[in-house]
Amino acid sequence: MAKFKEKLSGRIFFTLALTSITALAIITLFIFREGVPMLGSVLGSTWAPSRGEFGIIPMVAGTVSVTLGAALIGVPIGICCAIFMAELAPERMRNMFRPAIQLLAGIPSVVYGFWGMMFVVPFIRNYLGGPGLSIVAGSVVLSLMMLPTIISISEVSVLALPRTYKEGALALGMTHWQTIRSVQLPAAKSGIVAAVILGMGRAVGETMAVIMVLGNAVAFPTSVLDPVRTLTTNIGIEMGYATGEHRQALFATGIVLFVIIMALNITAQNLTRKKIKK
Partner 1 sequence: MKRKVFALLLSCALLFGVTACSDDAGGSSGGSGGSAGRIVVMAGSTSVQPFAEVLAAEHERGGGSLVDVHGGGSGQGIASIRNGNADIGMSSRALRGDELELSFVTIARDGLALIVHPSNPIAGLSIEDIRAIYKREITDWGELGGTPGNIHVVTREEGSGTRGAFEEMVMRETQRSTVKHDVPVPPCEDCELCNTCSNSENERTIVFEREVSTITDHPIHARTIVLNTNGAIRQFVAGNPNAIGYISLGTVVICGLSPVKQLGVGGVSPFFRAVSERGIELFDESCSGSECCPAYEFNPAYSLSRPFVFIVGEEPTPEALAFIGYVLSDTGQNLLESHGLIKRSERDARGDSFVWEGV
Partner 2 sequence: MNARTSEKVAKGIIWGVAVAIIGALISIMGFILIRGLPAINLEFLTQASYDMGRGGGIFPSIVGTIAITLLAVSVALPFGIGTAFYLAEYTKGGIIPRIIRFGAESLAGIPSIVYGLFGFIFFVDILNLGWSILAGGLTVAIMMLPMIIRTSEEAILAVPKIYREASFSLGATKWQTIRCAVTPSAVRGIANGIILSIGRCIAETAAVMLTAGSALRMADSVFSSTRTMAVHFYLLATEGTAMDNAYGTAAILIILIFLINVVANSAVNRFVAKKNKGAK
Contact indicator for 188, 28 with CB cutoff of 8 Å:
no
CA 206 → CA 246, 247, 277, distances in Å?
Answer: 22, 20, 32
Q: Does 135 bind partner 2 (CB under 8 A)?
A: no
Near partner 2 by CB under 8 A, which window of 37-45, 130-138, 158-166, 203-211?
A: 203-211
Helices 231-238 and 244-277, packing angle to 10 deg: 150
Considering only 43, 64, 68, 77, the residue that binds partner 2 (CB under 8 A) is 77
In angstroms, what is the C-alpha Rg of the chain? 23
Strand, helix or coil for residue 47: strand
Considering only 45, 181, 186, 274, the residue that binds partner 2 (CB under 8 A) is 181
State the binding partner of 32 from partner 1, partner 2, none, CB within 5 to 8 A by kind: none
Whose Cβ is closer to partner 1: residue 191's or residue 221's? 221
- Provide the 10 A C-beta neighbour count for residue 28: 12
Considering only 40, 128, 176, 270, the residue that binds partner 2 (CB under 8 A) is 176
Q: Does 49 bind partner 1 (CB under 8 A)?
A: yes
Q: Does 80 bind partner 2 (CB under 8 A)?
A: yes
Whose Cβ is closer to partner 2: residue 1's or residue 222's? 1
257 burial (CB, 10 Å; 0-12 / 13-18 / 19+) is buried
Near partner 2 by CB under 8 A, which window of 64-72, 98-106, 125-133, 213-221?
A: 98-106
Q: How far apart are CA 122 and CA 90, in angstroms?
A: 38
- Within residues 149-208, the interface with partner 1 by CB under 8 A covers none
CA 233 → CA 156, 214, 217, 269, distances in Å?
Answer: 33, 9, 11, 27
Q: Does 122 bind partner 2 (CB under 8 A)?
A: no
Q: Does 274 bind partner 2 (CB under 8 A)?
A: no
Q: Does 259 bind partner 2 (CB under 8 A)?
A: no
State the binding partner of 242 from partner 1, partner 2, none, CB within 5 to 8 A by kind: partner 1
Q: Does 276 bind partner 2 (CB under 8 A)?
A: no
- Within residues 218-247, the interface with partner 1 by CB under 8 A covers 218-219, 226-227, 229, 237-238, 240-243
- Within residues 25-64, the interface with partner 2 by CB under 8 A covers 25-27, 30-31, 34
DSSP string, 8-40: HHHHHHHHHHHHHHHHHHHHHHHHHHHHGGGTT
Contact indicator for 154, 78 with CB cutoff of 8 Å:
yes
